[in-house]
Every structure is written in C-alpha cells, then in structure tokens.
Amino acid sequence: MASRVSISLLIFSICLLFFVSSLSMISAEESESKESETKEFVLTLDHSNFSDTISKHKFIVVEFYAPWCGHCKKLAPEYEKAASVLSSHDPPVVLAKVDCNEEENRAIVSEYDIRGFPTIKILRNGGKNIQEYKGPREADGIVDYLKKQSGPASAEIKTVEDASGLIEDKKIVVVGVFPKFSGEEFENFLALAEKLRSDNEFGHTSDAKLLPRGESSVTGPFVRLFKPFDELFVDSKDFNVEALEKFVEDSSVPTITEFNKDPSNHPFVIKFFNSPNAKAMLFLNFTGEVVDAFRSKYREVAEKYKSEGISFLLGDVEASQGAFQYFGLREDQVPLIVIQTNDGQKYLKSNLEPDHIAPWVKEYKDGNVSPYKKSEPIPEQNNEPVKVVVAETLQDYVNSDKNSVYYDYSWCFILYFAISYEKDPDVVIAKLDATANDIPNDTFEVKGYPTLYFKSASGKISQYDEDRTKEAIIAFIEKNRDKTEKQEATKDEL
C-alpha cells in the first residue's frame, strides 16, 4: 500500500513539474512575443550618433523623414516590418531613420541633399558610397530589393535556370560573358555593376549558351544588354568603364517610351524625364482606330531625331491626366504633341493627323515654332484689393512702374495687408496661381507654396522670406519700395 502511494506521489510530482515547466515556457513565449511587438528594429539616428553608426557599417539603409509627412506615416509600418525581417538575414541588413524636422539634424539633411520626404538612401562602405533607394515602398518589396542590393553586384549564371530567373521579359539586365572571371575586363564590368546596380540587374557567365537570346557560340569577353523593347538585346566589346556606362545608359532608353497604366513601363518613363534631352510627348487615345498609324509615323520621326537631342514618349490619354494638368492641356486637343526643352520652353501642336508629325517636328528643329505658354484666362474684371495675375499678363506687371507684391493663391492671409494698400496708387498686391500658369524661372523661382516676391517700381525683384505677419510684410514693403517725390517731401517735413 505504501509502495502504491509512493508511486502515485512520484507520478503526481512529475506531472506537476511538467505542468509548471509548461507554464514557464508559455510565459517565456508570451514575454518574447510581447518583446518582439514592442521592439523597434529601425535604428533611430540623429546628430549625436549618425556619423559613428554609418562608419561602422558596410551596408546600411537610412530613411530621411518628417513626422508631419503623410507619405512618411504610410511608409513607417512597412519600413519597420521590413527591418524586422531583414534583421534575421545573413548577414543582417540594418535599416535606420533620421527625423529631418529636428533642428539638430539639419546639418545631416544638408550634407545628404534631402529635398523631399521620405527620401531613402543606401550607404555603403562606411558612407563612402551613397546610392538612391529606387525600390518598392511596401515591406515585401523592400525586403526583396535590399536583399539583392546587399549581395554581390553581379550574380554568376551557372545554369539555364539561373539565366531565366535573372533575365525577365520586362526589365533591363546586363550580362558579361568572360572566358575566365579575372582580368581587367572582368574587373571593369564589376565596377560598372557596382555603380549602376540601383537601376539595373547584372550577371556574369562563362557560357553564352546559357543565355536566352543572341549568338551562343561566342566565348567573350563581351557585354550583352537584354531589354523588353526595340531589338531586345545589344552587345558591346568596349570595356572602358566610361564607355560601358554610356553603352548601358544609351541602350536602356527605348526609341519611344510608352506611358500607360502598365507599372513595368514606369522605370523607363522615369528615365525619359530624367534625360537631359528635349522631350517630345505625343498623347493619344490608345483605344482609338488611328493609334497604329500614329505609332508608325511617330517611330519614323523618333528614329530620325533620337540622335539629335530629342527623346520621345507616347502617352495614353487615360494614364496621362497628371501631365495634362501640368502642361495645361485639354482632351479636346488630342491627338496632340508637346516638346519641352531644358530651359522650360514648351511647343504644342494639337488635333494632329499622323502625317502632321514629321513636318511639325522639322519646323520645331528649324526654329519656326512659337513657344506655348500655359495661362489662365485674363480676368474680365480685376478690381479687388488683390489683383489676379496670369501668365499672359505677368510681364505687364513686371514692366509697370508700380511697387508690386506677388504671391501664390494658397495663402489667404495676404488680403489683410492688401487692404492697407488699397488706396495707395503706387503699390499693387497681386496673386498668381503657379500651378495653372507658366512662370519664367529666370524671374521667379517657385520651390514651395506660398512664395512671395516684391518688385520695386524701378524693377528690382527680391524674394520675401521673413516673418509671415502683417506688420513684417508692411515693414518690408516700406523699406524696399521706391518712394515718390511727394512721399520724400512728407518725410522731410516730419
């Protein structure tokens, strides 16, 4: 009997021990889960630790953000989730952030030329190499992009499967073919891959037979660029790094960039707008019956002029509403073509026929087309304390003998001090909608809203960047305005 009791007590003790142990394990798991929920994987950097942290990492990603920025708020949970996943990568990929709204961090903002939020940069080799992040803004995409960016700049292609996994139908891929992975040509190729890896995928192989397009019996060394447009691939045997870079950049731009709702075209649209060339843009209804005729004639023109400093884009009206708003275009002008030059001048031909394209572009090249100016209609009445200025009337105000203040529509406060000058015949307070009117950049530079400029009667133009109070603005006007003889006489009497 005593033996049975002892065995029962032993079994009970073991069960109790197992139960307590299980509770401990559950408690530990819950604690670990809660800790992971509260732990921040994104490093917070500021003026006190930025330089030291960057110098310690061969690869680190930094988001420059502002707390009030809506895009930053949307990115924050995705960025944190990506940081959590990448912290377990081998080796770990570190994600960090800098609050650009903090006064102490302004030197960092200036050093890294941050002009918008959020801006993400990849810093390599202790910050010696800086690369713009050009990947997705959702967690899974951030993870995939940064895994590739943190690995080798060029992936070795050993099998047909490796090649098909790298070379896709809708992106640019640059592959070097070498008899051996050493020597000056190979080193120059790797240097190119490191420099351009944010924009293109790179691979290298010793067997051209593994590649999906082009001559397969060649042994190299040569570089083959695969692309989803025009001739689909192009080769080069010039291994000078600068020549290679020019080869990739020139070959990566379609003869005609297509702008529609297909996201795979967006990288090429970005390249188009970043080009230093003049930009020709033909806008059509892609579902129209004449689209094929336009495509054919437009390609003929693009082939002729692409080496003469003009890049060409074909845009679907449905996908181009932002461009229509920017240029001040209307759908009843379609089919239409716009050419914009680097100095901001725009040239327009609306209601085109396919046969109009070539002669009009020739007229533009010959300097026989007048610039187009986006402008709101001239107001029929303009009797309010704040005068309305449009692009067509701006020069009249600039050339007038009045002291004038110009500002953007979005700021209603101006009315308070405009009333103060309502009866002063020598001061004009005017407003100009910079989003609806073309403004000469050499006269007025608008980087944000509201922007205020003051023009004295003698023609001196200066930007106002002091306090936005009625008293401060009036004091500025009085200090900078050209005084009339009557005002000077009154001042002397006082």
Query: pLDDT tens, 133-160?
Result: 989 999 999 999 999 999 999 999 999 9
Q: Which of 437 and 209 is assigned the larger pLDDT?
A: 209
- Cα angle: 382, vertex 387, 389; to 5 degrees: 95
CA–CA dist 494, 488 (Å, integer): 10
CA–CA dist 450, 442 (Å, integer): 18
- To the question of domain 387-480 being in CATH 3.40.30.10, the answer is yes
* CATH number, span 43-150: 3.40.30.10
Per-residue pLDDT tens digits for 17-71: 444 455 445 454 454 444 445 679 999 999 999 999 999 999 999 999 999 999 9
Question: Any idea which of 128-132, 188-192, 471-475 has the lowest mean pLDDT?
Answer: 471-475
Per-residue pLDDT tens digits for 56-92: 999 999 999 999 999 999 999 999 999 999 999 988 9
DSSP 11: H
Question: Any idea which of 104-118, 267-281, 372-386, 433-447 has the lowest mean pLDDT?
Answer: 433-447
% of the chain exceeding 70 in pLDDT: 88
Question: 431 near 385, Cβ under 8 Å?
Answer: no
The pLDDT value given to residue 92: 93
Task: Specify the amino acid at residue 110.
Answer: S
The pLDDT value given to residue 243: 96
- To the question of domain 155-252 being in CATH 3.30.1380.10, the answer is no
Alpha helices (runs of H) in 99-226, residue ranges in sequence order = 106-111, 139-150, 160-166, 184-196
b/e map 311-320, b = 16+ CB within 10 Å: bbbbbbbebb
Q: Which of 192 and 435 is assigned the larger pLDDT?
A: 192
Domain range list for the chain = 43-150, 155-252, 257-366, 387-480
Q: Is the pLDDT score of 484 beyond 90?
A: no
Closest CA to 85 of 27, 155, 145: 145
At 266, the pLDDT band (50, 70, 90 cuts) reads: confident
Model confidence, pTM:
0.65
Per-residue pLDDT tens digits for 318-368: 999 888 888 888 899 999 999 999 888 899 999 999 999 999 999 999 999
Superfamily of domain 257-366: Glutaredoxin (3.40.30.10)
Burial of 204 (0-12, 13-18, 19+ CB in 10 A): buried
Q: Can 43-150 and 387-480 be said to share one CATH topology?
A: yes
